Amino acid sequence: MLDLDQLSKEERYNIPEGYFENLTDNIMDNIHKEERRRRNVWMSSIAAVCLVVISSVLFITINNNNKQKEAGTLVETPVPENKIDEQMIEYYSAELTEIDYYNF
């Protein structure tokens, strides 16, 4: 068994002056620094997500506007009046044949 009286009494560790007086302040400062780091990470993450969402919405909106402009600039080919008259005659003659005049 180890005899404590035989151990040397010299100081092996040097403690800085005022270490224990400032210990709680140093610990609290480190805690606050860690909290600030966490908050900065969250804020950066939220900012990145907002940036992605806003960019996506703008991209989709601009893309849709461009598609609408392209669709609006297409030249419509005019339909001759004879064709319209023929289509109207076909439509109304089909409608008239379906009406039951006896039960009207």
**Rounded CA separation 49/56 (Å):** 11
- The answer to whether residue 65 sits within a structural domain is yes
- The answer to whether residue 86 sits within a structural domain is yes
- The answer to whether residue 7 sits within a structural domain is no
Tell me how many domains the chain contains.
1
- The answer to whether residue 4 sits within a structural domain is no
| Chain segment 5-59, per-residue pLDDT in tens | 777 667 677 787 888 888 888 888 888 887 777 777 888 889 999 999 999 999 9
Specify the pTM: 0.38
Tokens matching residue 72? 């609006």
| Chain segment 71-84, per-residue pLDDT in tens | 665 555 666 666 77
> What is the reported pLDDT for 55?
93
Picking from 70, 49, 52, 48, the residue whose alpha carbon sits closest to that of residue 60 is 52
The whole domain housing 36 covers 17-98
- The answer to whether residue 56 sits within a structural domain is yes
- The answer to whether residue 43 sits within a structural domain is yes
Tokens matching residue 25? 């302040």
